[in-house]
Amino acid sequence: MTAENPVRIERDSMGPMEVPQSAYYGASTRRAQLNFPISELRFPRSFIRALATIKLAAARANMSLGLLEAHVGGAIVAAAGEVADGALDDHFVVDIFQTGSGTSTNTNANEVIANRATEIMGGERTSRMVHPNDHVNMGQSSNDVIPTAIHLSALMKIQDDLVPALRTLQEALEEKQEEFWPIIKTGRTHLQDATPIRLGQEFRGFAGQVAASLRRLEHAQEELSQVALGGTAVGTGINTHPEFSEKVCALLTDLTGAQVRETSNHFQAQNTLDSVVEASGVLRTIAISLHKIANDIRWMGCGPRAGLGELDLPEVQPGSSIMPGKVNPVIAESVIQVAAQVVGNDASIAFAGQGGYFELNTMMPVAAHNLLQSIDLLAASANNLSEQCIKGLQATSVGPAMVEKGLMLGTALSPAIGYDKAAEVAKEAAKMGSTIREMAKAKTSLTDAELDVLLDPAKMTEPGVSTGGGGG
C-alpha cells in the first residue's frame, strides 16, 4: 500500500486480495484483471447496461418470490440502476479475452453492485452486507446470465439503433427513387453496356435491399428474444425458483421495450451460440448489401471527366494532399470498410459458435463483443450514408446523353428483325462508331417511324414486346 495507490483487502473463495481503495469491484474481479492482461478491449456500454438490467430485474423477481429481503433487494435495485445508467462503467475492468463463459464479467457486475448496494445501506464496502453471490447473483449462474445479456444487449441495439438507421436509409433511397425516375440511362451487366434503365429503378433496387434487410432482422430478433436465463449452471435450473425466469423476462421486456422470453430448451440455449451465429449472419448480409449500394454509387460518380460521371456525390472534404480540387467518395468508402469489418466479425462469431462443448459454450465474450460492434458499425454507417451521401446526390446529364449511343438498344430490334440480324446491326455499329438507329436505317427496311417506336428508351425500361410492324 502506498499513499499514491491506496488499497483495501477484499476476500473471495480463494482468500484475501488487495484491491484499489476506490474500486467498487472486489477480489475475484481483481484476480481476473491480473489474469487477462491481453488487450484494451472491454465489454461495451450496451452489454453492461443489459447485464445490470438483468441484475435489477432479478432482484425484483426474487423479492416478489419472497426469497430476498426487501431492504437488501431495494439496495440492489438502486445500485444496479446506477450501473445500467453508466455511472460505474470505470469499475468494469475485465478484458474481453477472459474466461470463455464470461464468468469474470458476471462476477465483476455482482461485486460492483454488491459493494455499491452495501454503501446505499450505510455499510462499508468490505462488510458484505450485500453479498455478490448470495444476493446479487441469486437464482443465476454466469452460464445463463451472460448469454442472456448477449441476447438482450443485441436486441436493444437492433431495436434502438440499427432498425431506425436502416429505415432512414430506406426512406432516403425511396426519395431518390422518385426524384430520379424520369432519368433514363444505360444499364450495365458484367460491367458492360446493357439495355436502358431508369436511374430511379436502380435506386428502387437499393431501397429494396434495405427493406429486405429489415425483414431479415425481424427473424434475428425473434431468435434472440429467447433467452437462457433460468437454466443456471448446465440448463437444469438448479438453485433457482421455477417462476424466476418468467418473472425476470417480463420485467426485462417492460424495462427495455425488447421482447424477451424464457427459452423452451435451456440446454441448447447455454451450450450453443446458434442464435448469435444466425444474427451475425443477418448482419453480414446487411453489410454486403450496404457494400453493394455504396460501391454502385461511387462507381456512378467516378470521374468527373474520365469516368462514368452519372452522379454528383456531395463534396464533404478535400480528396488529396497533392492534387488540388480532387474530391473522393469518402462516405461510400467508409461504408465499404465497415462491411469488411462486419464480415470479419462474423467469421470470428462463426468460430465462436463452434466453442460449445457439452453443456456450455466457452467463447461467449468475443462473440458478444463482435456482435455488438457489428450492430454499432452498421447503424452508424447507414445513418452516415443517408445524411452525408444519399440525400445530397444529384444526377448529371451524362447518363441520358449516352443512351442513344448505347449498342444494346439493338435488343429492341430483335422482335422485329430477329436476334441474328439485330446482332449484325449492333456489331457493325460498334465497328463503324455509329448508333444503332443509324445502322438499322442502313441495314434494314425499318422506317424512321418504326425505329422511333422500337428504340424508345422509356418503353425499354418496362415489360413488354414491340414488333415495330416490320422486318428486314
Active-site amino acid positions: 190, 320
The C-alpha atoms of residue 152 and residue 171 are separated, in whole angstroms, by 28
Quick one: CA torsion of 321, 323, 325, 328, rounded to 10 degrees?
Answer: -70
Q: Collapsing DSSP states into helix, strand and coil, what is residue 88?
A: coil
C-alpha cell at 69: 429481503
C-alpha cell at 23: 474500486
The C-alpha atoms of residue 69 and residue 135 are separated, in whole angstroms, by 9
Distance of CA 62 to the CA centre of its chain: 34
The C-alpha atoms of residue 456 and residue 472 are separated, in whole angstroms, by 19
Contacts of 124 (CB under 8 A, 6+ apart): 118
Q: Collapsing DSSP states into helix, strand and coil, what is residue 19?
A: strand
The C-alpha atoms of residue 464 and residue 244 are separated, in whole angstroms, by 63
Q: Collapsing DSSP states into helix, strand and coil, what is residue 324?
A: coil
Q: Is 309 exposed, middle or buried (0-12, 13-18, 19+ CB in 10 A)?
A: middle
From the list 370, 347, 351, the residue with the least C-alpha distance to 362 is: 351
The C-alpha atoms of residue 276 and residue 364 are separated, in whole angstroms, by 10
Contacts of 185 (CB under 8 A, 6+ apart): 196, 197, 198, 199, 310, 399, 400, 402, 403
The C-alpha atoms of residue 143 and residue 124 are separated, in whole angstroms, by 30
Sign of CA dihedral 277, 283, 289, 290: negative
Q: Taking each helix axis from N to C terminus, what angle separates 70-84 and 45-64, rounded to the nearest 10 degrees? A: 160
